[in-house]
Each structure stands twice: as structure tokens, then as C-alpha cells.
Amino acid sequence: MKQITIKNRVEGVGIGLHKGEPIRIILEPMEANTGIVFFRSDVQMSVKAAPENVVNTQMATVIGAANGSISTIEHLLSAIYAYGIDNIRIIVDGPEVPIMDGSGGSFCMMLDEAGKRVLEAPKSFLVIKKPVEVQDKEKFARVRPSKTPTFRFTINFDHAAIGRQEYHFVLGKKNYLNEIARARTFGFLRDVQMLRSRGLALGGSLDNAIVMDEKKILNPEGLRFEDEFVRHKILDALGDLALLGAPVIGDYESFAGSHHLNHLLTKAILKDPSNYEIKMFAPEVESEYEKVFA
């Protein structure tokens, strides 16, 4: 298999979740072995999507350098990961990637518009060789060896609209578009009010998130999936694991996971070289992965 970039430059505009200001976003093709690079044009900051560049995981995954940071990168990265794109530059003119409708759907439309270009360099995979787990009390995130890239997630919220939800997702572009991409981020009205008092979530609305009060969902259109909440958690996990820099061949599982746990997991994987192997598959085993990552 070969590395992939996008074919054409595309751009869009959306609201930033936390600052509530319009953000212009541009996706550009890049050459082989570049990886996923973010560029913040207002402060001339370039930073690669990589675990060592993560500076905050409290409300979203945030990467940064000495002169600034870029927040809420995970929804876009999940779409890039599912589309099998290895090399791309993302330009924003502010401190965050626009929230769009709170899912990965708008970014999928941008990637469809951009198209794909196959490069000459071989594609690398990160193959999990042994189990790796991180925990926070009863919460955990882990990876285990598996020939099929899968994501298993369980959540358990003490809220009538959520409760306990489980989902098992087998990675593939078609599966992502059908099962995961449209699942929106979610939050509670009490938390939104608290965040706004601190100058955050100023762009949050019923147009870009599922919002709940103490008893019910406030969005008049309701849910896109009955279990939209846990599906969005898988969307986030895909985006967070994209920071590893190569598609993961393994089984990911989490209970009540978060951006923070996902970040700790990526660091734990890379900390010990015996946990994984970077491989370029021989032609006789490539075919089973082409339909997943092509």
C-alpha cells in the first residue's frame, strides 16, 4: 500500500466552540512522509499532530508550540484517520479548529471535495504487539493485538437520556460514514453555563452539540442515533489515536474514557518499543487492509 494525501486544496469557515468566533480552515495536500501538520496563520505557528505536542486534554485535545496552541483537533483528525490520509496540512486562522455541527460529518464533506492522491512512498502501520492499558480508578483505555482494527467503547452516565451504552466499531471508511461520522459531541446545560462564566464554550449551541438539562435532551430534533453518545466517544478516540502518526492495527477498548486517558495511552504505547512494531505489509497481506485504509 502507498501513502495518501488529498488531491486538491479546500477551505471552509465555521465557529470556534470556545471563543465563539469565525475560524477559516484550509486543507492542503502534502508530500510523502510529512504526516499531519497544523499551521496557525495568525501567529505563524506550525505544529505536527503527535503525542509529544499535546499541551491540554481537559475539554478537547489541544496541541501547541512556544507561540500558541490549536484546540479541538480530534473531530477533524478522526475523519482524516478513517479516510486513510497520511499527509495533510491544516491551516486555521485562530486558536481552534471550527466545531462545525459537533461531529465529523462536515470534515468528511471537505475531504470528499478534496479527493485523494496516491503517493509513491509505502504506507506504514503501527502494529500492536502486546496489551497496553492506562487507568483512572474504574476508567480505562487499552489496546491489544488484533489483525482487525476495532474500537470498543462503554459509557455509563447517571442521566435518563444516556445511561449505559456500548458500541463495537470495525474501522473502515464506509463504516465510519455510516456509523460514527455524524455522532455529535454532547454536554450538560449546567456545565455550559459554568464554562461560559469562564469565557469558554462561547460558540456552543444546539446547532453544534447535544445539550441536556437534568432530565432530557434540549435539541428539538432529538438524536441522530439512539446511542449517539457512545458513538461520539469512538469518534473522539479515533481522532486521539491519529496522533500516533500511523494507522493502528489492534483492538482499542475503553470504559468511560476521555481525551486525557487516550493521550496517556498513546504515550504509554510509544514509551516501550516492545509494545508495537512499525510495519509496511508485504503484498500478500495488503489486500485485507486496503479496503480499510484506502
Residues 131 and 203 in one domain: yes
* Whole-angstrom distance, CA of residue 79 vs CA of residue 18: 21
From the list 148, 32, 13, 164, the residue with the least C-alpha distance to 93 is 13
Please tell me the least confidently modeled range out of 35-44, 183-192, 195-204: 195-204
Model confidence at 202: pLDDT above 90: no
Hunting for cell 432530557 — which residue is that? 216
Residues 172 and 235 in one domain: yes
**What CATH number corresponds to the domain at position 29?**
3.30.230.20
Residues 112 and 139 in one domain: no
Phi, psi of 7 (to 5 degrees): -85, -40
Which of 81, 105, 122 is at the close of a domain? Answer: 122
Residues 202 and 72 in one domain: no
Which of 122, 141, 168 is at the close of a domain? Answer: 122
Residues 276 and 158 in one domain: yes
Strands (E), 186-284: 186-188, 210-212, 248-249, 251-255, 276-279
Residues 99 and 165 in one domain: no
Q: Where in the sequence is the domain holding 95, given as residue range(s)? A: 2-122
- The pLDDT of residue 282 is 64
- pLDDT digits 0-9 by tens, 5-14: 999 999 999 9
Phi, psi of 173 (to 5 degrees): -60, -45
- pLDDT digits 0-9 by tens, 150-181: 999 999 999 999 999 999 999 999 999 999 99
- The catalytic residue positions are 259
Which residues on neighbouring strands pair with residue 25, listed in sequence order? 12, 92
- The pLDDT of residue 141 is 98
Residues 58 and 153 in one domain: no
Q: How far apart are the first and last CA of the chain?
A: 8
Residues 161 and 93 in one domain: no
- The pLDDT of residue 286 is 66
* Whole-angstrom distance, CA of residue 232 vs CA of residue 223: 12
Number of independent structural domains in the chain: 2
- pLDDT digits 0-9 by tens, 51-103: 999 999 988 999 999 999 999 999 999 999 999 999 999 999 999 999 999 99
Residues 118 and 135 in one domain: no
Residues 19 and 149 in one domain: no
**What CATH number corresponds to the domain at position 139?**
3.30.1700.10
Residues 233 and 283 in one domain: yes
Which of 122, 151, 177 is at the close of a domain? Answer: 122
Residues 61 and 142 in one domain: no
